[in-house]
Structure 1
Amino acid sequence: MHGADGFSCGVLLGGCGKLLTLRACDDKKSHFAHRPPVRCTRTARDESSADHLYIGEALVRWLRRQGRPNITVEYVRQKHARSDAIEIRFGPKKKRRLLHVQMARRSFTEWEEDRRRLGATPGRPSTIRMYGPGSELAPYELQVAGYALRFRCETQNGTREVFVGTHLPGHKIEWTILERCRLHDQGLLTPALEPTSEGIRLKGAAKPERSAAEAPASSAEKAEEPAKGTTATAPGQRQAAPTSGPDGPTHSGGHPGPVSAPRTRRLRMPAATALRRAPRRRQRRCRPSPPTSPAASRPPASSCR
C-alpha cells in the first residue's frame, strides 16, 4: 500500500506495515525493500499470497449484483496473518448476515469452536461457511452438512480468477463461477445444490428415510387385516356365507346353527424355543462289570444301561 510520500509493506498480505524504499538495480529487477533495521512477518510471496483479497473482492461484487445492501469486508488474523479468514457482513441492521471464508488451516477442535461461535442464534439468518484452497477443512463440513463450499484461484489474463466448488461425497468437486450461483435464505446455492424444507441438499439426493415407528402401514399389511365384524380364516379356506332363515341366521347347509367363535391363527414356535422346551433324554450310566477271575490282568469291561 502507499501513502502521500511513500510505500509501505501491505498488512493485508501479511506484512508489517513499515515504510519501504525503492531499489533501482542494473543486474536484476528493481524492487521495494525494507529499511533496516526491521523484521517483517510476511512469509508468502508467490502469486497465491493475495488470493484472499481476490476472493473477498469477488464476493463483494457478487453480493452487489444480488441486491444486498450494507456490505462490509474484514480480513481476520487468527494466528499468522490477516489472510487467515474473510468475514463479509451484509443486509439490514436487524438481519445482518455473515459469510465466513476460512483460508488458513485449523485443527478439528478449533473448527468446532468456530462452528459454535459462528452459529446463528434463534430467529437470526444462518452463517454461510466456505473454505479456501489451503484450509483442508472441507471434509469436516462434508460430514456435517453433506456438502462443502470451496474456493480456488487461477491466473488468467494477468489476474486471478475466482472459482466456487461444491465438495461432494466420494472426493468429488464440481467447479463453477460465482455468476452461476445465487443467494438463498438458507445459504449459497451452486448449480449442484437445491433448497428443501430440511435445508440445502445435493440435487438428486435421496430424502431421509422415515423410522419404522413413523412409517405408515403398507397397503399389503392393510389388506391382510380382517374387516370389522368378520373372522379370520386359514389360508386356502373359504368362509361360509351366512343366510337368513326363519329361526335366525343359517349356514351354507340350510340349517340353523350356533355362531362359531373367531378362529385364531396358530403360531409356530421358533426352532430355538422348541429345542429349549424339549425334554432332556436320560443319560445312560456305565458301571464296571465284575472281573471273571481274580487273576485277570486286563481292566474289567463295563456294562451300560
Structure 2
Amino acid sequence: MGQIDTRLFLRQFGWDDFWCGTLLGGCGRPLRPKRYVTRVCHFAHEANPGRDECHRTTHSADSADHLFIKAHATRWLAAHGHEVRGELRTLGHCHGDAVDFRLPRTDMFLRFELHSEDYRTWRKAADSLGAKEGRIEWVCGQGDHLARDMLARRGYALLVRCETEGNDRRVYIGTLTDGRETAWEPLDQCRMTDKGLVTPTLGTLRAGGVVRR
C-alpha cells in the first residue's frame, strides 16, 4: 500500500484487530499495519521469538479470490432463489483450490475450480462428483488447461477472474469459444438456470445456434 492508501485504510479500520488468515494459507497470528516513508507500507507479524515461521507463500490481491468468489457467488445464487453456502476445497495446493455450491432445488453442483489439477486426477474427481452429485457446472480459473477439455466437449467453457474495485474484488465470468476472444461479464449479469450457469454471451450464442444447449 502507498502512504495515502495506508492513511485512509487506518482511518477507517485502525481500531480493528488484524490476523494472518488461515484461509489464505497463513498462520493465524496477529498482524500490525506498518507505515513507512521510504518502503512499501504493509502488514507484518508481531515479533515473537520462538514462534514457528509463517509459511504463507502468496500475498497478492488474488490470493484471496476464493473468499471473494464464495461471498459474491453466495449472494448471487440467493438472488436466483438458491439459499446455499459455499464450501472451500483443498485439492493439493491451498484452501482456495475450489469453491463448491450444492443446489438441491435444481439437482446441480456448481464448482469454481481455481487451481488446475492434472487431467487424470481431474477426470477421476469429475467422475466421482458426477456419480454423487448429478449434473456439475464447472467454472475454471484463467489459463486452466482443463478449460480446453470443456471447450472440446461442449463447444464452450466458463472461466472466472476477479478485479479490484476499492476494497472489494468483483467477480467476472468469461465465455471461451473457438475462434473468439473470451468475453468477460460481471457475475451479477449472469443467470443460474436449471441447465447451468448462463452468461449474456452464452445466451446469445445459444440463441444463434452457434453453441448447442
Fold in common (TM above 0.5): yes
Identity %: 32
**Greater relative contact order: 1 or 2 (C-alpha under 8 angstroms, separation 6 or more)?**
2
Question: 2:86 is matched by which residue type in structure 1?
Answer: V
Which of 126, 135, 139 is equivalent to 1:115? 126
Question: 1:20 is matched by which residue type in structure 2?
Answer: P
Report the 3-state secondary structure (helix = DSSP H, G, I; strand = E; otherwise coil) of the residue aligned with 1:155: strand
Q: Is the 8 A contact 1:23 1:33 kept in 2?
A: no
Q: 1:125 to 1:39 in 2, by over 3 A?
A: same
Report the TM-score when normalising by structure 1: 0.56
Q: 1:141 to 1:26 in 2, by over 3 A?
A: closer
Instruction: Flag the structure with higher helix content.
Output: 2
**Are 1:48 and 2:52 matched, yes or no?**
no
Question: 1:9 is matched by which residue type in structure 2?
Answer: C
Question: 2:68 is matched by which residue type in structure 1?
Answer: Y
Distance 1:23 1:159 in 2: 19
Question: Which residue of the partner structure matches residue 22 of structure 1?
Answer: 32
Question: Which residue of the partner structure matches residue 135 of structure 1?
Answer: 144
CA offsets, 1:263-288, max 9 Å, x none? xxxxxxxxxxxxxxxxxxxxxxxxxx
Deviation at 1:78, TM superposition (A): 1.2
Deviation at 1:114, TM superposition (A): 2.1
CA offsets, 1:138-197, max 9 Å, x none? 1111111211111111122342111111111125311112222112111111123349xx
Q: Is the 8 A contact 1:147 1:202 kept in 2?
A: no
Q: Is the 8 A contact 1:9 1:15 kept in 2?
A: yes
Aligned residues: 193
**Are 1:58 and 2:85 matched, yes or no?**
no
Q: Is the 8 A contact 2:156 2:211 kept in 1?
A: no
Distance 1:68 1:32 in 2: 39
Report the TM-score when normalising by structure 2: 0.77
Q: Is the 8 A contact 1:75 1:87 kept in 2?
A: yes
CA offsets, 1:194-233, max 9 Å, x none? 49xxxxx74423698xxxxxxxxxxxxxxxxxxxxxxxxx
Which of 67, 79, 96 is equivalent to 2:92? 79
Question: 2:70 is matched by which residue type in structure 1?
Answer: G
Q: Is the 8 A contact 1:104 1:134 kept in 2?
A: no
Distance 2:184 2:200 in 1: 9
Question: 1:42 is matched by which residue type in structure 2?
Answer: R
Q: How does 1:206-217 map to 2 (within 5 A)?
A: none
Report the 3-state secondary structure (helix = DSSP H, G, I; strand = E; otherwise coil) of the residue aligned with 1:12: helix
- Structure 2: 5+ residue stretches without partners: 1-16
Distance 1:128 1:114 in 2: 13
Deviation at 1:46, TM superposition (A): 0.8
Question: Which residue of the partner structure matches residue 22 of structure 2?
Answer: 11
Question: 1:15 is matched by which residue type in structure 2?
Answer: G
- Structure 1: 5+ residue stretches without partners: 1-5, 196-200, 209-305
Q: How does 1:193-232 map to 2 (within 5 A)?
A: 193-194=202-203, 202-205=206-209
Larger Rg: 1
Question: Which residue of the partner structure matches residue 31 of structure 1?
Answer: 43
